[in-house]
Structure 1
């Protein structure tokens, strides 16, 4: 036999074979690398809270007496005759009553003056007809004095706040405005 000749070119592909059976599922692989961040989303719609709404929720008042008053016929609501401020308009100068239109937490303070040894002041802050705090300035040997008190209250819509002067008691004041009552909203109640 002689030597083998050069290798010939490959022949044409044969017909595909029959499909094999599926093997068992493999184990779960490890997590891949974190992908790149996507582009920023679209701008959201305007919220309901704005500077206009915030301003509409401001509430504050400060009032004073400019002359003496006496309760001659039982306890009396103090009607104030000088307004320093009334932001939001919730304090009614005609009735002496603060009406809550923005529920929330409020701070109230008052200062009273006396110039009499007989009719010393006894005043109380009232919420919806219930007495909350008070102040008295008693001292038969002291004719000129002042006292006060303050409180923080959680108030609901349409709660009413006012000051009363006790029966047969006197509040002193002058154009110097020695007797005052003030209140303001610290923060509104969450909606």
Structure 2
């Protein structure tokens, strides 16, 4: 993997562990020679991620919609800052540029970005690894929801297992490197129609 998109927040959250995890991930990716694509802000866990990667000499590409350029305070020290017209364009550009995806703890926007790229993987629109860094059990309820979706017949086990997760950044990256997408299968089970 040459480039990973990281979904994270424009806020730091209430626990110092969130900022620390963003900084550790940014530093790790830079040291591994993996470029980062992210939301382009200088604040929140987005800023912590970018700053730590840049300190290590990493390449960081920000993608920010015009409507958020001022509100999220676009980072002025990036390797490259792409200003796009909408949130839809932001996600499409990040998906285009990345070889894989990691979600850090964040709010509804982070969750929406993660859900969208996971759905694209589920549908076979891409074969890139999708992962979440489960800092201090932040995503436990989300992971349990995926188990519930499977139990209730809305998600196949092979699809649920496509979501890589770990509480350690290095282990998460190792899981992404060894990821093998499942063979394409129909999303709709015709016996249930």
For normalisation by structure 1, the TM-score amounts to 0.24
More strand per residue:
1
Larger of the two Rg values belongs to structure: 1
Higher helix share: 2
